[in-house]
Homo-oligomer: A and B are copies of this chain.
Amino acid sequence: MTSVEREAVSRVTVGSSAGEYPVYVGCGGLDGIAGYLATHAEAHRYAIISDHTVAPLYGQRVMSACMSAGYGAAIYTFPAGEESKTRNSWSILTDELLGDGHGRDTVVIAVGGGVTGDLAGFVAATYLRGIPVVQVPTSYLAMIDASVGGKTGLDVRAGKNLVGAFHSPRCVIADPTVLGTLPESERAQGLVEAFKHGAILDAAYLDTLVADVPDLLAAAPAVAARAVLHSVRLKADVVTRDELEGGYRQILNFGHTLGHAIEAASDYQLGHGAAVAVGMLLETQLGEELGVTEAGTESGLRNALATLGFDASSCGHVDVEKALSYLLSDKKARSGRPRYVLLRRLGETLEGDGWSREVPDDAVRDVLSGLQ
């Protein structure tokens, strides 16, 4: 990769209470990592955290880049998969870093998908009361969604991401050339979050995504880079306006109230992307039935998601009672009642009380029952 080609890397700035941080999006970004570290996260040593699948592919590459730039670096790995996003993995990783004597002058580099970003981010958030982290997302989901906004978290018995912290990265390096090694099913699931960005904020973007689906699923680098960049810009704008999810940021939960409930009701056998796709369809139907979402919005969204291979049947059989009981424990609940982000139309979210609202239980039961 020459420096001319690397000029294709774009920089998006995200605001946070701890200061701004840049997200670099573009093909070849990973080759420039030593420079980004020198600029944004110079450290005595780097602790690279990656899973057993990604470490041999990209973790080692990041470590080599650090070392050839003269930095100390060590790699810490854990078994791939959501099963690793636990307090136990967090304990093991923090103990390993402590055992190796990492001090406050160490920076964590998270290299991997959403699980790695969440787990390594929580390690960094809590190690010695917080050390810096650089995020190197390697999946669509992590590039499009997880790497922007500073959320970190662990899954516990009661549900996913129920412990964690907001911990903004020093910088994010999203290089779509790495998406070629991602399994195709994960590509489709990750792209659901991009479709969500279109649905809540930008109808023209949703149209572009639909047109680009074949290239996106094939991880064609230039097309993937364009989508990642657009989603990062949209999300960065939301997160900058509302870092801690007090109000406007809630729009990013579109599709997630019912999506999480469906995912939980499946005992997490269902993929996150598929669950959110169905959640978006149901929440749009809910809005139409409540008369606040323009008629035809759900069918437009349904046509869009179908190009990715998702429809209302994507979640298989749903245990409605189990999903409803999960809703009452949803962490976005206020005063024990679940809240919903609803669309006005494709590309536009309804501003309610804090950008989300309660809806009658019967209406929720109706749309969930329609899945049977």
Contact = CB atoms under 8 A, between A and B. Distances in A.
A158 interface: yes
B166 A129 contact: yes
B336 A101 contact: yes
Contacts of A336: 44, 101, 103
Given A105-B334, A151-B129, A334-B104, A157 B95 contact: yes
Contact of A165 (B103, B130, B157, B159): B130
Nearest to A104: B331
A220 interface: no
B156 A94 contact: yes
A129 B153 contact: yes
A328 interface: yes
Given A99-B158, A156-B98, A331 B128 contact: yes
A158 B96 CA distance: 10
Contacts of A91: 87, 156
A68 interface: no
B98 A158 contact: yes
Nearest to A150: B129
Nearest to A129: B164
Contacts of A334: 44, 103-105
A163 B331 contact: no
Nearest to A18: B17
Interface in A78-99: 87, 91, 94-95, 98-99
A66 B103 CA distance: 42
Q: Which of A18, A128, A151 has the most CB of B within 10 A?
A: A128
A295 interface: no
A126 interface: yes
Given A328-B101, A334-B105, A128 B17 contact: no
Interface in A317-372: 328-329, 331-336
A22 B129 CA distance: 22
A156 to B, nearest CB: 7
Nearest to A151: B129
A301 interface: no
A287 B289 CA distance: 75
B95 A129 contact: no
Contacts of A244: 130
Q: Which of A151, A165, A335 has the most CB of B within 10 A?
A: A165
A210 B239 CA distance: 52
Nearest to A157: B95
A127 B161 CA distance: 9
11 contacts: A44-B336, A98-B329, A99-B158, A104-B333, A127-B163, A129-B152, A129-B161, A129-B164, A129-B165, A130-B244, A165-B165
Given A101-B336, A128-B164, 10 more contacts: A17-B17, A44-B336, A91-B156, A94-B162, A95-B156, A98-B159, A98-B162, A103-B336, A129-B161, A129-B164
Closest 7 CB pairs of A and B: A98-B158, A129-B164, A103-B333, A126-B163, A128-B331, A44-B335, A105-B334
